[in-house]
Chains A and B, each alone.
Chain A
Amino acid sequence: MNECALEPTALLEAALLAAAQPLDEARLQMLLGGALGRPVSAAELGQWIGTLEGLYENRGLRLKRVAGGLRLEIRSAFVQALSALWEPKPPRYSRALLETLAIIAYRQPVTRGEIEELRGISVAGSTLRILEERNWIQVVGHREVPGRPALYATTREFLDYFGLSGLSDLPPLEKLADLIEPTPEFDLSTPADPLTQAPLLGLPDPEGELDAGTGKPSSG
C-alpha cells in the first residue's frame, strides 16, 4: 500500500527533474499514465503532487507552480549564496526594455504606436526584437486600422520566467491616487534618485539599444 503511494511520487519527481521545463498536469497525466501502464486521474496526480510538495518541506528544492505547469526550483533562500558558482552574472535589462515589457504585459494586446504613446519616446526596434527572441512577447494579431500594426502580447514563457502562474499574478498597477500624494519616502529619494540609480542601471543608452545587448552576456 505504502509502496504503491510512493512509487508514482518518485516517478513524478523524476519527470520534473528530467524535463528542465515546467510540465503541466495534462502532460504529467499522460506521461505517468504511460509509465505506469494505466490511466492516471487528475485527482490521483493532485495527490502525488501534494505528497511531493510535502517531501520538499525541508530540502533544497521546492515545487512551484507557474503558468507552464509545475517545476522544481532551488529554494530561493539559497540562490544568492549559490550564485557564486556562476561566472557570468544574470542579465540585466534596461529601463527601456522593462518599460516596454511592462506596457505589453499590463496593456496587452498593444501596438508599437501605443507603447510609444505611453512612453513618450520611440521604441527601438532592437527592444522588441530582444523581447521576441527571448520568447517573452509575440505578435497575436493586427489592428484593423490603416497600416495594420502588429498587436503584441506576452507569452507563457514570459510568465514562467518571472515565476508567475498567470497574468493576474502580476503585481497590481499602482493607483493614480498613490501618485498624486507624494509619500515621505518618495520625497527623500527625490533629488538623489536619478544619480544613485544611474550606475545601477549599467549606464543604459537612452534608447536601450546597447544595454539589453550587453546586459545579456554580462553586465559589463
Chain B
Amino acid sequence: MTRSPTPTVMGAEAVRQPELPLATVNGEPWLTYPEGLYIPPDALRLLLESFEGPLDLLWHLIRRQNLDVLNIPVAQVTEQYLHYIGMMQQMQLELAGEYLYMVAYLANLKARMLIPRPVDETGEEPQDARAALVQRLQEYEIIRRAAERLDALPRLERDLWQAHVGVPESDRHFLPEPPPVALEDWLRQMARLLDRTRWQIRHRVVKDALSVRECMASLLERLSRSRGYQRFEKLLPRGSNRARAVVSFLALLELVRQSLVNLVQATPYGPLYVQAPSSSVVEEAPVQETGHE
C-alpha cells in the first residue's frame, strides 16, 4: 500500500517537533501522519463526507501525494480513487453517480495510457484526454478557491452590520426604489398616443379652381361639336371627380335657366338629352358672349 515514492514534507516536519501529537486515537498519540491511506475511521467518515464531488476527491488525492497536476500518474491516481470509492461504499455513504462516472473515466484514461499510441495517427488522444481532465481539475480548483475567498469576504450578518434606527411601525414597507416603468407601460402609452393622433387628422380645404361659368362654356362648346345632341351622362368630362360633377351639374342648370340649352326626354324614365338651342332661341337669349353673334 505504499504508493507514494516521495516522502511528504509533512512527515519530516512532524518528526522535528515530537512534543505535539497530531491526534490521539484510542489514547495513543500520533506523532506523524500515517503512511498510505490509513486514517482513523471516524475522521475518515468526515473526510469522505466532506468531498464536494469527484473533482474535489481527485484534487485531494493529487494534493495528498504532492503530485504534479500537469503530469498526473493516471494509473496511481485511478487506483487510489477506486480505493476511496471502495471505502465510501463500505461506510455506506450514498454515492452520487458522478463519482462512479469518474471511475469509468479514469479507467478509460488508464487503459488508453497503457496501450501504445499509434504513431502515424494524428491524434495525441490519450494525452488530450488527460489534458482535459487536468483542465477540469484546475478550473474546479479555481472555483473552489474563489468560493473560499467569497466566504472570507466580510459580509452582512457576520462581519458587516448596517446601522439603522428602528422605525416603529413594522407594517410599513420600505420602497426599495421609485417603481421602475415597465416596458409594457411604455408601449401602452405609445399606443394611446398613436390612437389619439388618429383623431387629429388635419382637414385641408383647398379651393379647387372650378368655376361654373367656365364649365358652362365648355359644355356649350362640346354640344356644338356633337351637333346639337348629347346624352346627359356623357356631358361630364372623363375622370372628373365629385366636385367637377357638381359644378358641371350646376353649369347645366344655369344653362337651362338661361335657356341656352334644352333638356329633352323622349320617353318616361328614358335617357335625358341635352339639346343645343335652335337659331330661334338664340335670338331671345340676350346673354353676354352669344349676344354679339
Contacts and interface: CB of A to CB of B under 8 A. Distances in A.
A191 to B, nearest CB: 5
Interface string A157-170: 00011111000001
A95 B153 contact: no
A121 B98 contact: yes
Contact of A195 (B47, B147, B177): B47
B33, B102, B147, B157: residue with the most chain A Cβ atoms closer than 10 Å: B147
A176 B9 CA distance: 23
A188 B9 contact: yes
B162 interface: yes
A179 B141 contact: yes
B50 A194 contact: yes
Nearest to A17: B165
A76 interface: yes
Interface stretch (A3-11, A43-51, A144-152, A198-206): A198-206
Interface in B111-153: 136, 138-151, 153
Interface stretch (B60-68, B181-189, B210-218, B260-268): B60-68
Given A17-B163, A206-B53, A190 B102 contact: no
Nearest to B68: A180
Given A176-B142, A187-B66, A27 B156 contact: no
B140 A76 contact: no
Interface string A1-31: 0000000000000000111111000010010
Interface in A192-220: 192-195, 197-199, 201, 203-207
B136 A18 contact: no
A188 B13 contact: yes
B54 A121 contact: yes
Contact of A90 (B33, B149, B158, B167): B158
A37 interface: no
A96, A198, A205: residue with the most chain B Cβ atoms closer than 10 Å: A198
Contacts of A199: 46
Interface in B20-56: 22, 33, 39, 43, 46-47, 49-56
Given A102-B147, A119-B53, A198 B136 contact: no
A118 B146 contact: no
Contact of A20 (B51, B148, B174): B174
B142 A20 contact: no
Interface residues of B, number: 61
Nearest to A69: B177
B156 A119 contact: no
Contacts of B193: none
Interface in B267-284: none
Nearest to A199: B46
A120 B8 contact: no
A61 interface: yes
B64 A190 contact: yes
Give chain A's interface residue range (CB within 8 Å of chain B): 35 or more
A164 B149 CA distance: 13
Given A20-B164, A98-B147, A98-B150, A206 B52 contact: yes
Contacts of B165: 17-18
Contacts of B19: none
A102 to B, nearest CB: 4
B138 A176 contact: yes
Contacts of B156: 160-163
Contact of B102 (A18, A76, A120, A201): A120
Given A20-B162, A190-B63, A174 B50 contact: no
A171 B150 CA distance: 8
Given A105-B150, A176-B142, A76 B160 contact: yes
B256 interface: no
A180 B163 contact: no
A192 B22 contact: yes
A198 B52 CA distance: 12
Contacts of B149: 171
Given A20-B162, A161-B155, A101 B50 contact: no
A64, A95, A105, A186: residue with the most chain B Cβ atoms closer than 10 Å: A95
5 contacts: A73-B160, A120-B56, A163-B155, A187-B8, A192-B22
Interface of B: 8-10, 13, 22, 33, 39, 43, 46-47, 49-56, 60, 63-64, 66, 69-70, 93, 96, 98, 102, 136, 138-151, 153-165, 167, 174, 176-178
5 closest Cβ pairs, A-B complex: A121-B53, A120-B55, A20-B164, A90-B158, A98-B147
